[in-house]
Amino acid sequence: MRALLQRVTSGSVSVRGNVIGETGPGLVILACAMQGDTAENVEATAKKIVSLRIFKDDDGRMNRSLLDTGGSALIISQFTLAADTSRGNRPGFSAAASPDIGETLYNQLCKSIEDCGVAVAKGQFGADMQVSLINDGPVTIMVEK
């Protein structure tokens, strides 16, 4: 599973002009299930995300995790993270999991992060979404398990 983490002060996602998910300080997570991903990949990804020390401590160093800060997460499915740009000018997305498997693993990721004690808001799988965020730092990190 691939996940692009953005440390944010706030974030939201809208579908057809309606806000369907929001987060305060924490993470906006763009997630993509890849071919061959399993429940074990998803669980490892969730544990890595909530444990990464990418938030500032009292000395201004990135030394605290999402769990340490009590931050929340907005998790959005984004199959374009599977893009292969190695040939030509049109990205290929064949490395992404099929939509049915992708949706199952996306929902599992959301539940696994929530089960760790993090408040989770979600996008809408497969929808045309508009994402707004205020990136804090900016800090943007790719996780792949």
Asked if residue 33 lies in contact with residue 80, where contact means CB atoms within 8 angstroms, the answer is no
Q: What is the pLDDT of residue 60?
A: 94
Q: How many domains does the chain have?
A: 1
In a domain, 143, yes or no: no
Is 139 inside any structural domain? no
Other Cβ atoms within 10 Å of 2 Cβ, number: 21
Beta strand residue intervals within the chain, DSSP E: 2-15, 18-23, 26-32, 55-56, 62-64, 72-77, 120-122, 129-144
Q: Is the pLDDT of residue 18 over 90?
A: yes
Q: Which of the residues 6, 23, 45, 78 is marked catalytic?
A: 78
Taking the C-alpha atoms of residue 72 and residue 38, their distance in angstroms, rounded to an integer, is 25
Confidence bin at 136 (pLDDT 50/70/90): very high
pTM: 0.96
- Which of 38, 80, 93, 130 is labelled catalytic? 80
Which pLDDT score is estimated for 145? 84
**How confident is the model at residue 3, as a pLDDT?**
98
The one catalytic residue in 23, 45, 55, 79 is 79
10-15: average pLDDT: 98
**Are the C-beta atoms of 137 and 7 separated by less than 8 Å?**
yes
Q: How many helices (H) and strands (E) does the chain have?
A: 3, 8
Q: Is 79 a catalytic residue?
A: yes
The pLDDT, as a whole number, for residue 114 is: 98
pLDDT in tens, 88-132: 999 999 999 999 999 999 999 999 999 999 999 999 999 999 999
Residue 137 lies in a domain: no
23 among known catalytic residues:
no
**Is 125 noted as a catalytic residue in this protein?**
no
Tell me what percent of the residues of the chain surpass a pLDDT of 90: 99
C-alpha separations of 116 from 19, 66, 67, 109, 130 in Å: 25, 10, 8, 11, 27
Q: Once rounded to an integer, what is the mean pLDDT over residues 34-43?
A: 96
CATH code, 56: 3.50.80.10
Look at residue 110 and tell me if it is in a domain. Answer: yes
Integer Cα distance of 63 and 118 in angstroms: 18
Contact between 135 and 5 (Cβ < 8 Å) = no
- The reply to whether 115 falls in a domain is yes
DSSP letter, residue 34? B
